[in-house]
Amino acid sequence: MTWLRGRDPGLAATRRAARTALVMPVLFAFCAEVLRSPVVGTFAAFGAFAMLLLVDFSGRTVQRIRAQVQLALAWLLLVSLGTLAGQSVWTAIAGTVVVGFAVLFAGVVSSVLAGASTSLLLAFILSVATPAPLSMLPDRLAGVAIAGVAAVLAVWFLWPRAAVDPLGAPAARVCRAAAMQLRAEASDALEVCTRRTEETATLTDALRRTFTATPYRPTGLSTGSRAFIRLVDELTWLSTILGESAPVSARGAASDPDSSTVHFAAATVLDLCADLLEDPTRTPDQLAIAAESLRDAVSTLEKGAVSRLPSSEPGFLGSLSVSFRAQELAFGVMLIAQNVEAARVADQRGWTDRLLGREPGSLTRPLATAAERAAAHLEPHSVWLHNSIRGAAGLAIAVAVANLTGVQHGFWVILGALSVLRSNALNTGQNAYRAIGGTVVGSLVGAGLLALIGENTKVLWILLPIAVLGAGIVPAAVSFATGQAAFTVTLVILFNIAQPEGWSLILFRIEDIAIGCAVSVLVGLLFWPRGASAAVGKALSEAYVDSANYLVGAVGYAVSCCAPGSRPTTPQDGRRAAAAARRLDDAFRTYLAERGPKPIPLSEMTALVTGVVAVRLGADAVLELWDRYADGRPPSDDRAAAQSALLTMADRLLDWYTTLATALEGQGEVPEPLKPDHETKARLIETVRRDLYDADGKASPTAIRILWTIDHLEVVRRLQTSLAPAAVGATG
C-alpha cells in the first residue's frame, strides 16, 4: 500500500479504478444477460468506463454529483450527434472536426469542461465510429442513461472522494512559517529570524516540488485550485523577498514602529490564510477584516515615511529601505490573501458559473468572462489552440481511415489516435511506440488467457472486474505502455463475452491501434512539428515581452499621475500580460506532463517561468502604489526630471527582457545581467531629495513613491542575475 500511495498520491486512480471495476461489469452483465441487448450493454459499459474512470471532479459532494449528472446529459447529446453524423462517411468526418475542436478548445474556458474532455470525446467517437441505423438510437441512449445513473450513485456512495486539494496543506505550512518569520523580524529576534528564514525557504521548496509532482494539470483543476496555482507563485515570490535581506533587516523592522506594525498585521493575515487552506469549510470573513487592517497599516507606514524624512540628511535614502521592504512584503501578503479568499469563494459558486469559468466577484457576465478566456488562446502560438486543432484533425483523419479502409473495428482506430495524440509530434511518436508495444503485449496476454480458458465464459466474467481494476491503476502506478496492455486485456475479455471471436479480435485490435497511432503521428508532424520545450520557449518569450511592457506601462502611469492636468488611465498591458501568462501556464504544464526525458532541466525551466511572475508582480506593485495614493499635485521642474529618469530605467529593463525573449526563441545570445545604473539613479535621487519638501516645508508623498518605484525597478533588475544562467542552460 505504501508503494501504491507513492505512485498514486491520494489513491485517486485506485479509487476510480475500484468503482469502475465494480460498476462496469455489473452493468454489462445486467444488460447482456438480463436485458439480452448487446447494444445497450456496450454503451452502458463504455459509458460507465468514461464517467467513472476518465473523470474525477473536485469540490464538495453536491458539486461532484451535479457535475456527474451534467456529464451524463452531455453523453446523451453527443451519442445522439454521433449516431446522426455516422450515417455517412463525409458527415462523420465533418462532425468529428467540429465536435472534436469544440470539446477540446472549450476546456480553456472551464476546468469542468476540461476535466471531462476525454470522456466527452469518447461519447462521440463510440457513436460515430460504429455506424448504425437511427432505429438503434434508443438502445444506445438507454445504455448511456443506465451508465449515468450508476455513475452518480457510485460517486455518491462508493469510496467518496474527500474535498482536499493536494497543495493546500504544504501552502498552509509556508504561510505559517512566513508569519513566524515576520513576527521574529518585528521582535528583533535575530537568531530566531535566521532559523525561521531557513524554515520558510525549505517549506517553499517542498511546496514547489509538490506542485511540479502533482498529477493534476489545468484540464483537471477547479477555479479554486487554479487560485492555489497562483498562490504557489506568490508564496515563492514572498519567500524570495523574505530571504534576500533577512535577518539583517530584522533590526531595522523592529526599530521602526510603523514597519513593525505592518509585519505583525501581515503575519496575522498569513495565519488566517493558513487556517482557510487547512479547513475549506471556514468562511473568509476574518481574513477580509485582517487584510483591511493590513492596508490601514501600510497607509500609516507611507505617511510616517514622509513625515520622518528631513531633506537635509544625506543618508535619507537608507532610512527608506526598511519601510520599502515592509510595503513590498505587505503587497505580497495581500496578493496571497486575495487568492486564498478567491479559492474559497470559488468553491461556493453555482454550477453555471463554474461551467462558464466565471471568476469569483467578477462584475462581467459569465459569457463575457468565457469569451475573454477563449480570446486569450486565439493566438498562433497557443499550445491549447494547437492541441485542439491537432486533436480534431487527427480524430477526423482516423474516422476517414476507419471508414475508407473497411477496418472491422473502426472504433479502435479512432481510440488509438485519441490515446496517443499528445502535445507535439516527437512525443506523439514516442507514445505511439508505447501504445503499439503495450497493445501487442496485452494481446499476447489476452491470447494466452483465451487459450487457457477456452469458451468458459464464467471464468471470463470473473476476470473482467480484475482486468478493469488493473486497467485503471496500472497507468498511474506503473507506466503508459503497461496501462495500454491492461486496457487491451480488458477489451479482449469484454468482447469475447459479448461476441466470442478469439484470435481474430486480437489481430484486429493490433491492426486497428497501429493504424490509429500512425494517423496521430502523421497529424502531429503536419501540425506544429516541435517539442513541448520549443512551445514553452515561445510562450516564455511572449510572456517576458508582455510583462516587461506592462512594467513600462505601470511606470508610465506613475509618471502621468504627477503630470499637470493629466488624467491617468490604467495601462491595458496588464491584460496582455495576464493572457500571455495563461498561455505560458498551459505550455509549461504540457512540458511537465510530457513523457520521456526533459531536454531542459526542470530547475532552469521553473526559474524562467517564476521570473515571468516576478516581473508581472513588480508591475502590479508599482501600479498599486500609485493607483491608491496619487496626490495629483502639479510637479516641479525637478520632479519632471525624476519622471524622465524613471522612464529611462524602465526602458532599460524593457530592452534587456526583450533581448532575453529573443534568445529564448533561439535567435541570439542571452544578455548579461544589467549593472546598476548609478548615474541615472544618483541624478534621480538628487532631484527627488531636492523636491522632498514643498514651499511650505511639508514633505511630498509623491517623492517617496518615486523612490519606492525605483526600488521596485531595482528588484526586477536584480532578478536578471538568476534568469540569465537559467536562460543559458535552457537555450544551450
Cα distance between residue 396 and residue 104, in whole Å: 13
User: What is the grid cell recorded at 143?
Assistant: 445504455
Q: Residue 331: CB partners within 8 Å, gap ≥ 6?
A: 620, 621, 624
Q: Residue 604: CB partners within 8 Å, gap ≥ 6?
A: 725, 726, 727, 729, 730
User: What is the grid cell recorded at 226?
Assistant: 487554479
Cα distance between residue 137 and residue 143, in whole Å: 10
Q: Which residues pair with 699 in a beta bridge?
A: 693
CB atoms within 10 A of CB 602: 12
Cα distance between residue 486 and residue 157, in whole Å: 27
Most confident of 16-30, 245-259, 303-317: 16-30
Nearest to 223 by CA among 121, 331, 352: 352
> Could you tell me the maximum CA-CA distance found in the chain, to the nearest angstrom?
102
Q: Residue 545: CB partners within 8 Å, gap ≥ 6?
A: 580, 657, 658, 661
Whether 433 and 484 have beta carbons less than 8 Å apart is answered as no
Q: Is the pLDDT of residue 192 over 60?
A: yes
What pLDDT, on a 0 to 100 scale, did the predictor assign at position 422? Answer: 46
Q: Is the pLDDT of residue 214 over 50?
A: no
Confidence of residue 137 (pLDDT cuts 50, 70, 90): very high
Q: Is the pLDDT of residue 47 over 60?
A: yes
**Phi and psi dihedrals of 699, rounded to 5?**
-70, 150
Confidence of residue 290 (pLDDT cuts 50, 70, 90): very high
Whether 200 and 177 have beta carbons less than 8 Å apart is answered as yes
For cell 496582455, name the residue.
576
What pLDDT, on a 0 to 100 scale, did the predictor assign at position 4? Answer: 63
Query: What residue type is assigned to position 21 of the chain?
Result: A
Confidence of residue 85 (pLDDT cuts 50, 70, 90): very high
pLDDT tens for 524-563 read 555 544 456 677 888 889 899 999 999 999 988 888 876 6
Q: What percent of the chain has pLDDT over 90?
A: 15
Plot region of 614 (φ>0 → left; ψ -120 to 50 → alpha; else → beta): alpha
Instruction: Please state, rounded to an integer, the average pLDDT across all residues of the chain.
Output: 76
Fold designation for 532-731: Methane Monooxygenase Hydroxylase; Chain G, domain 1 (1.20.58)
What pLDDT, on a 0 to 100 scale, did the predictor assign at position 149? Answer: 95
pLDDT tens for 119-133 read 888 889 888 888 889
What pLDDT, on a 0 to 100 scale, did the predictor assign at position 146? Answer: 95
User: What is the grid cell recorded at 26?
Assistant: 455489473
- CATH homologous superfamily for the domain 168-346: Phosphate transport system protein phou homolog 2; domain 2 (1.20.58.220)
CA dihedral sign of residues 376, 378, 380, 381: positive
User: Region 161-186: what's the mean pLDDT?
Assistant: 82
Confidence of residue 82 (pLDDT cuts 50, 70, 90): very high
User: Region 230-248: what's the mean pLDDT?
Assistant: 75
Range with the poorest average pLDDT among 57-66, 323-332, 375-384? 375-384
User: What is the grid cell recorded at 522?
Assistant: 502523421
Q: What percent of the chain has pLDDT over 70?
A: 67
Q: Where in the chain is the domain with CATH 1.20.58.220?
A: 168-346
What pLDDT, on a 0 to 100 scale, did the predictor assign at position 216? Answer: 37
Contacts 24+ apart (CB under 8 A), 672-679: 672/724, 673/717, 673/720, 673/721, 673/723, 673/724, 674/717, 674/720, 676/714, 676/717, 677/649, 677/652
pTM passes above 0.85: no
Cα distance between residue 659 and residue 50, in whole Å: 47
**Phi and psi dihedrals of 625, rounded to 5?**
-60, -45
What pLDDT, on a 0 to 100 scale, did the predictor assign at position 217? Answer: 37
